[in-house]
Amino acid sequence: MKILIIGGKGTIGKRISEHLTRKHQVLIGGRSAGDVIVDIADSRSIQAMFESVAGLDAVVCAAGEAKWAPFDSMTEDDFTIGLRSKLMGQVNLVRIGQHYLNAGGSFTLTTGILADHPVRLTTSAALVNGGIHSLVKAASLELKNGLRINAVSSGLVEDAVDKYADYFPGHNPIPMSKVINAYVRSVEGHGTGEIIRIYDNC
Amino acid sequence: MKILIIGGKGTIGKRISEHLTRKHQVLIGGRSAGDVIVDIADSRSIQAMFESVAGLDAVVCAAGEAKWAPFDSMTEDDFTIGLRSKLMGQVNLVRIGQHYLNAGGSFTLTTGILADHPVRLTTSAALVNGGIHSLVKAASLELKNGLRINAVSSGLVEDAVDKYADYFPGHNPIPMSKVINAYVRSVEGHGTGEIIRIYDNC
């Protein structure tokens, strides 16, 4: 397969890239570095990306941001960051990409445990993740040419424990091997409309 | 209690209003008519509303729109309609309203079955509803002064069957009495962070 991994140099993306490269042709998409330069917060950039990369069988998105802050100090603009980037960025990847992917191709989006089990400071990130979960289910009813769409929703991943553990009291870290397998299941499997949850104690 | 019902003249809103009026002081908020004029798609309008109505114990939102259309023809602007209205409209009601409601007050938002069980044409509406579900859980972890937040997520309501039945093949209509009770449970009960689902055969 020819697979594009957006955010392929990030914490999760680089692990997926390393793994999928063994069996597939992998292209990395990133904002500042990679085989293809793309900013998912800008739909024109996404459109240009699909015009420049032909014959994709799978798009994996491990990119997108959302602001973390106390809810009583969040501004409307703070929410807009997540809406433009991780939410509409991923929606636009599928919305535009459905017209470019090879028949039978797949989209694998990235959400996270906050959709189902948020912690403090994450109103925006939770909202974005939950929105993508429902979008995945809805889009799977309509995608044509055998295109598939799934989301991977992981708990706190092992490689991010140092940075985020304090925000997730009592959460069991998710081994990177399990995270990678979730993406493999979406890309190499045949399911669609699935939210592949990798949670431990919830 | 002093309760503001936004969208209080709509299909669901008018039933809730009729019921809650028996025991409470109810104000209706609407875009063009009501005790208070408010457009939830405009956060300045929401701010002005809270400035003009003092001493609220509960805000119920039964307003907000999202575009229904085939996913392969949805534009970015089509998604923006739902993001501005039903999604950020309801987020902004809580984001701004948390600084105005009486201690112990509650927010009751409206989503719908599409969050969990979408049908075709509803990528945007599903996304909006799913986003609100996660926001409700996340915000409930942070609201102060005993403020509560819940969402009511109903299947196809009896009063909307004539208009929407064709879009929901095989869905059992939800009796309006059950819909009303979901809102009563949120407003008069003591739960928070709850998604009150009223689904029948799913």
pLDDT in tens, B147-163: 999 999 999 999 999 99
Average pLDDT rounded to a whole number, residues B59-65: 98
Question: What is the pLDDT at residue B202?
Answer: 86
Average pLDDT rounded to a whole number, residues A58-72: 98
Nearest to A144 among B72, B92, B119 (CB): B72
Query: Alpha-carbon dihedral of residues B98, B184, B130, A41, nearest 10 degrees?
Result: -30
CB pairs under 8 A between A and B: 131
Q: Is the pLDDT of residue A202 over 90?
A: no
Q: How far A129 CA lies from chain B's nearest CA (Å)?
A: 7
What would the pLDDT profile of A1-18 be if each residue is shown by its tens digit? 999 999 999 999 999 999
| Residues of chain A positioned with their CB less than 8 A from the CB of B92 | 76
Q: How far B166 CA lies from chain A's nearest CA (Å)?
A: 16
Q: Is the dihedral of CA A89, B91, B175, B36 positive or negative?
A: negative
ipTM above 0.90, yes or no: yes
Average pLDDT rounded to a whole number, residues B129-135: 99
> Using the beta-carbon criterion (under 8 Å), do B137 and A126 form an inter-chain contact?
yes
What would the pLDDT profile of A136-193 be if each residue is shown by its tens digit? 999 999 999 999 999 999 999 999 999 999 999 999 999 999 999 999 999 999 999 9
| Residues of chain B positioned with their CB less than 8 A from the CB of A134 | 114-116, 118, 126-127, 129-131
Q: Is the pLDDT of residue A69 over 90?
A: yes
Q: How far B6 CA lies from chain A's nearest CA (Å)?
A: 20
If pLDDT is split at 50, 70 and 90, which confidence band does B64 have?
Answer: very high
Beta bridge partners of B37: B30
Question: What is the pLDDT at residue A137?
Answer: 98
C-alpha distances out from residue A85 to A46, A64, B45, Å? 12, 5, 26
- Please state, for a pLDDT cut of 90, what percent of chain A lies above it: 99
Q: Does B195 touch chain A (CB under 8 A)?
A: no
Classified as helix, coil or strand, A39 is coil
Closest by CA position to B53, among listed B19, B98, B16, B4: B4
If pLDDT is split at 50, 70 and 90, which confidence band does A41 have?
Answer: very high
What would the pLDDT profile of A186-198 be if each residue is shown by its tens digit? 999 999 999 999 9
Contact by Cβ (8 Å): B128, B82: yes
